[in-house]
Structure formats: structure tokens, C-alpha cells
A and B are shown apart, each in its own frame.
Chain A
Amino acid sequence: MEKTHYRWMLVPTLLFLVLFIYVPVVRGGVMAFQHYNLFDLSTLRFNGVGNFISVITDKHISFAQILLNTAVWLIGSLTFQFILGFALALLLRKPFAGRGLYTAFVFYGWALSGFAIGLTWAWLFNGQAGLVNDLLIRLGVLDQPIGFLSNPRLAMMSVIIPNIWYGVPFFGIMLLAALQSVPNELYEAATLDGAATVRKFISVTVPYVKPTIVSTILLRTMWIVNFPDLIYAMTNGGPVNRTNILATQMINKVFKEYDYGQGSAIAVIIMLLLFVYAVLYLRIVEDSKEELL
């Protein structure tokens, strides 16, 4: 009787998830094995792994390049988001006047649209009259404006910087919450044992917040790989595919070429790569735990 009520209360949520998330995910998995082009639906048929082969052996857009771009985008963004976010959390750990207000301001970034932030930074990096060019000219680094987003050597850096800017608050929030749960007695005990600040950081802080570090890095990895909005707004994968990651390539297959089969194949590749990553990552984390013990 009681249980029936609880069951009914779950129904609307489960319906939403099944109809609009899980059925589409399965449907997308099927489409990855179909020749499915919106321009020519008369050719709709199963074509085995044809889409995967087409994507991987694409002559115009090297798949190896896209994988490399995705790796650079991920590692560059994640490393600096983590380091700066951790630093921010450490700076905010001890209370000071106005800390609440400061934290609120800094964490505002979380609420902002990735797409609008991408457009904002496209303007900051503008090759004609961008703020970055203006600052570098004032500082005497540059003589005249350069096209950060049109220069193949600078484009990737120019999309990673905004992504770092955008992601630091996330690590900041999560790590600050974890740091605040470290019992003060641990630091006091370490101080009594004569531990220096660095030593305390390595032996007390890091082990205590390690579970948060592990889970935030995993979540953030998935999120960065699945985050085409910013690149889409700034360069849409250009110039000459230098900023084209798997996610933007999928968007382009869908929005530009209307090739839903190949688009879905890329989506499947992304999901598979992230799944393998998650399994390996968690295994490595588990192993290192045993070694430490």
C-alpha cells in the first residue's frame, strides 16, 4: 500500500527519462549503423560499420587530428582548471571579511551560458580590435593586432584559455567544500609533530580531499570532452580543423552535412572512449590506493 504510493511518485520522472533520454540514446546507437542522410532519405539503410569507417578514414578531415585535438583540449583545460581551482579553494579556506561575497562573485561563472561565454571570448580575441590585442600592444609585446582565432598555431590555445576561465569555479566550489571538511585537529596534530606547511599539505590535506579530487576529475573529464559549445561559438573547429574536437565534429556532421548516421557514429565513439577512460581511471585510482596502504 505504502510502497505503491512511492512507486507512483517515481513514474513521471522515469517516463521523462525513458522517453526523451534512454529511447533516443538507443535510437542513436542504431542510427550509427545506418546510412542516414537528411538530404537523401531514399538511401536510408543499414550499412554495418560503414559510418565508423567513413568517419575514421575521412580524407578532408583527419580523424587522428581530431583525436589529437580532443586530447590537447582535454589535457590543457583540465590541468589548469584543476591547479587554479585548487589554488583558489586553498586561498578561500580560511575565513576573512567578505569571503561569502567574494565566493558568490567568483562562482557566478557557473550560471553563464558556455555559448555566450564563447562569443564573449571570441570578441576578446578579435583580430581587429580585440582586448587581448590591445593589451599586448600597450605592453609592447605586439606591434599590430594578430588573429588569435584565425592563426592555426594560436587557435587551440585561444579556445583553451576561456575554457580554463569557465571551469575554475567548478573545481573551486567542490574542493573548497572538501577542504572545509578536513578536521582542524589533523592540522594541529601535524603542527605538534613539527610538520612544515608543504608537508601538511601533502600528508594531511591531499589524502583527506582525495576522494573529491578523484570524482571531480572524472566528472570534469567527461564534461570537457562533451562540451562543444565554446569552440562552436569561437572557431567552430577552424582554422583548418586545428580546434576541431570529436564533439564539434559531430555537431558539424549534423548541422552542416545533415549526415545523421556519421554524426551518431561519432557520438558512439565519444561514449565508448569515455567509458574506457572511466574504467581505466577508476582502476588506476584503486591500484594506487593499495600501493599507499
Chain B
Amino acid sequence: MKRRSPYPVIRFLLLALYLIAAIFPLYWIFITSLKGPKEIYTMPLQYLPNNPSLASYRKLFSFSNFSTYFRNSLVIALISSLLAMAVSIFSGFSLSRYPTKRTKGALQLVLYFTQTIPTFIIMVPIFTMFSRLGWVDRTAALMLVYVATVVAFSTIMSKGFFDRIPTSLEEAARIDGCSMFQSLWRVILPITRPGMAAIFCFAFINIWNELFLAVMLLMSNDKMTVPVALNSFISKAGISWDVMSAGIVIALLPTMIVFGFGQRYIVAGLTEGSVKG
């Protein structure tokens, strides 16, 4: 006779406990954003808001240009991740099919090494370079830097996705008279669409979350991104946590949505190669 193991019960309890710990801080910032300015500072705290309202969100958007910041972030993250995706489709495909082993290995090494360079190390030289070029406070210039910060890992991911597609497919297309670009465009890309979506999501999340380069390179108020705006709230006297929490929720939501879409592929991509973040 087999004794019933207590393991499933213990496991259930531990996993439940972990889930609560993982979610509660996010729940708390969300709940705070629905409370009034007096309620959030009154102890003992309310774990469910008495009169949930969107007043702090209204305050956030009226007292600052938050809709502008949100739009800036969205435009910057969308355009740079699309660009990063496009660029890394080519480089990933090329790396996956590159005929010379030595070059291929060397290039991969460079890509992995690039992964270990943190963005805050390049922010000062980028700033001095850009001020000489007159590129400081230009959204387009910041987008170029953002593409560069994600393109190494995007290429590693994209190579991984192309590696899984047998070369016989392109060879067949070539026999049918397709050029290399045509076979990439018409035959291979349609199959790797989920993989490309994962690259886009990865790039979007990293770019949306970036703070220091944006603080360094953007000057005008109407060009600020969401993280830069939150950063400026910290130093602004009189900013209360009801408005701040609303800003945090808005900063967190887009990447959560994007991660929700790309989660399966991102996790697969992350576990394959080296990882940033």
C-alpha cells in the first residue's frame, strides 16, 4: 500500500503563497490609484477602497501633459521596436545561414558580449556625441539609440527562430525561381511570424521601460516619455502618491499587455540564449 504523500498539498500552499507575494505589490499600487488623497494616508489602511474612483487619473492628466508623455512613449517604443525587428530579421537570417563557420562564431560572440554592456555606461558618450551633432532633444535620435540597445539580443532571438526552419524550404523556393529576398519574404517569414512577434514584444518592453538614456537625451517637456515624467514627479514638490500611483499603473500597463501577447514566445526565446533583464 502506498502512503499518500503530503507533497501536493504543501506544493499547492507554497505556490499560492508565492503567487500572492508576486501579485500583491501590483495590486496595492493599483488600489492606491483608485483611492482618494486622504484615504491613502489614513492608517489603518483600507485593503479595498471605500469609494473607488478614477479621480487620480483625471488629476494626473490635467496637472501634467501626461497624455503627451504617453503618446511620446508609445510612438518611440513602436517605431524603434519595428525598426529593430526589421533589422534583426535580416541579421538573424544571415547569421543562421552564414556559410563561413569562423565568421559566424565570431559575430555571435560579439552579439553575446554586447549583451553585457549596460545602457547607462553609454549614456554619457552618446550625449557628448549627440550634442556635437545637434541631435540632443531629438526623438528620432533617441530612437536610433534604442534600436541599438535591443538589436544584439533581437538578432540572437531571430537567429534562433530561423535555425529551426529547414533550409530545404528556401532551396525549393529558389528552384522555383525566387531570389534570396523573395524566398525570405514569401516563404520563410510567414512561418516565423510568431517568432518575429516575440522579437517585437521583447524590444517594445525594453524600450518602453528605459529611463536613463531618455533623461539624458530629451530636454523639452513636450518630448518626455512616461518614465522621464515619473522621474520628474519625484523631485516635484507636492506630488502626492494618489497621482503618482496612477502614473505608475499607466507606466506598467502597456508592457503587461504586450507581454501577455508575446509571453509564450518570449519565454522560449529567453531560455534559448543569453538574456537581458
Could you tell me which A residues sit within 8 Å of B by CB distance?
Answer: 2-3, 5-7, 9-10, 12-14, 16-17, 19-21, 23-25, 27-28, 31, 36, 87-88, 91-92, 96, 102, 104-117, 119-121, 123-124, 126, 128-129, 131, 133-134, 137-138, 145, 162, 165, 168-170, 173-174, 177, 215, 219, 222-223, 226-229, 232-233, 247, 250-251, 254-255, 260, 263-264, 267, 270-271, 274
Contacts and interface: CB of A to CB of B under 8 A. Distances in A.
Contacts of B28: 120, 123-124, 131
Interface in B11-55: 11, 14-15, 18-19, 21-23, 25-26, 28-29, 32, 40-45
Contacts of A105: 19, 22-23
Contacts of A112: 209, 252, 255-256
B238 interface: no
A109 B22 contact: yes
Given A20-B148, A24-B129, A123-B244, A113 B227 contact: yes
A208 to B, nearest CB: 15
B196 interface: no
Interface in B159-210: 180-181, 205, 208-209
B245 interface: yes
Interface string B255-270: 1101110010011001
B248 A116 contact: yes
A12 B126 contact: no
A133 B252 CA distance: 24
Contacts of B215: 255
Contacts, number: 221
25 contacts: A6-B97, A10-B90, A13-B87, A13-B91, A21-B117, A25-B122, A25-B125, A27-B125, A27-B128, A31-B124, A31-B128, A87-B14, A102-B19, A105-B19, A107-B263, A111-B256, A111-B258, A111-B259, A115-B231, A116-B227, A173-B271, A219-B274, A228-B212, A233-B234, A267-B121
A117 B120 CA distance: 18
B115 to A, nearest CB: 8
A28 B251 contact: no
Nearest to B42: A129
Contacts of A177: 271
A118 B181 CA distance: 45
A21 B148 contact: yes
A174 B267 CA distance: 9
Given A16-B87, A134-B45, A113 B252 contact: yes
A270 B116 CA distance: 12
Given A25-B121, A115-B211, A5 B274 contact: no
B11 A31 contact: no
Contacts of B149: 20-21
Contact of A222 (B116, B120, B127, B256): B116
A67 B222 CA distance: 39
Nearest to A99: B15
B140 interface: no
B277 A17 contact: no
A21 B122 CA distance: 7
Given A10-B90, A115-B211, A126-B241, A106 B22 contact: yes
Nearest to B276: A223
Given A21-B122, A131-B28, A165-B25, A13 B155 contact: yes
Q: Report, nearest first, the 6 A-B pairs whose CB atoms are least far apart.
A: A20-B148, A111-B259, A113-B209, A226-B118, A13-B91, A27-B125
Given A16-B87, A17-B114, A226-B118, A260 B124 contact: yes
Contacts of B76: none
B68 interface: no
Interface string B61-79: 0000000000000000000
Contacts of A119: 230, 234, 244, 248
A102 B267 CA distance: 14
Contacts of A9: 90-91, 93-94
Contacts of B120: 226, 228, 247, 250-251, 267
A145 to B, nearest CB: 7
Nearest to B209: A113
A239 B215 CA distance: 23
B88 interface: yes
A91 B42 CA distance: 39
Nearest to B89: A9
B245 to A, nearest CB: 7
Contacts of B234: 119, 233
Nearest to A215: B274
A16 B121 contact: no
B92 to A, nearest CB: 9
B60 interface: no
Interface string B87-112: 11011011101111000000100100
B129 A2 contact: no
Given A10-B90, A17-B110, A88 B18 contact: yes
B128 to A, nearest CB: 7
B123 interface: yes
Contacts of A255: 215
Contacts of B230: 115-116, 119
B145 interface: yes
